Amino acid sequence: MTQPSLRRMFSGVSSALAADALDHLDLRNQCLDPDVMPLAPSHTLLGPAFCLRAEPARDTRPAMPYQGLLRAMEHVRGDEIVVFATGRSDAAGVWGELITAACQARRVAGALTDGLIRDAAQLARGPFPIFSRGTVPYDSKGRLDVVAHGDPVTLGSVTIRPGDVLIGDLDGVTVVPAEVAGRVAELVAGKRAAEDAFRAAAAESGSLTDAFQRYGVL
C-alpha cells in the first residue's frame, strides 16, 4: 500500500480508533505492550512495517560489528517504519541519532522497537518519530546483532508482518494487518462519526447514559 493511499485512509486516525475497528473484526490482540511509547508527544506513526530482528550477540568483541544492521538498513524504503524486534532486550540502545540521520535522508516514516534507544535528547527534539520502551547509553556492538530482515517479527505477543500498517501515538501502537486495512478504514470512519455525535450530545446534556443510548459507542 502506498503512503498517499495510507494517508488518505488513516489521516488523523488514532491508535484507539484503529483498535476499536480491529475489535469489531474480532482481532483483539493487535496493540503493542503499553511500555512501548513515543519519545516525544508529537511523535506519531503511520506507515507500513519494515521488520528486522536482533538477538544477543555471540561475540562481545566482533571484528566486523553492525554487519546485520547495515545490511538490513540498505533495504528500508521511504515511507516505511523500521520495526526493530529485540525480544524486549535491555542490553543496548539499538537506535540513535546516526541511524536516524540516514533514515531521514531516505524519508523513512519512523522507528519502533520493543527494546531501548539512545541519543534521546537530540531525538526527542527532532521530528522523526521513535517509539521504544526507554533508553540506555550502551551501544549495540557486541551486545545485540541484527540477524534477519524482511521476515515477520513478534513484539511481546503481537506479530507484525512486513507491510502491516502501524498507527502510533501517545496511547501506544496498534498493528493493522495489511489485508484488513481497507475494512478497518471503513469501520473507523463509522466509529468516528458516531463519536462526534456522542461528544456533542454528552457536552450538551452531561449524561453519558443518554449519549450512549442515542449513539451506542464509547
Ligand X SMILES: O=C([O-])CC(=O)C(=O)O
Out of 98, 157, 206, 216, the only residue in the binding site for ligand X (CB under 6 A) is 98
CA Rg, the chain, in Å? Answer: 19
Cell numbers representing residue 201 in the block: 450530545
- Is 119 one of the binding residues for ligand X (CB under 6 A)? yes
Q: Is 105 in the site for ligand X (CB under 6 A)?
A: no
Q: Nearest approach, Cβ of 154 to ligand X (angstroms)?
A: 22
Out of 20, 119, 164, 169, the only residue in the binding site for Mg ion (CB under 5 A) is 119
Site membership for ligand X, residue 97 (CB under 6 A) = yes
- In the complex, what is the shortest distance from the CB of residue 63 to ligand X, in angstroms, rounded to a whole number? 17
How far apart (Å, rounded) are the C-alpha atoms in residues 120 and 99?
A: 13
| Residue 180 grid coordinates | 484488513
For the packed helices 3-10 and 181-205, what is the interaxial angle rounded to 10 degrees?
A: 30
Residue 136 three-state SS: coil
Tell me the closest approach of the beta carbon of residue 93 to Mg ion, in angstroms.
8
Residue 47 C-beta: closest distance to ligand X, Å? 20
Q: How many CB atoms lie within 10 A of CB 192?
A: 17
d(CA 116, CA 133): 6
The footprint of Mg ion (CB under 5 A) covers 96, 119
The footprint of ligand X (CB under 6 A) covers 96-99, 118-119, 139-140
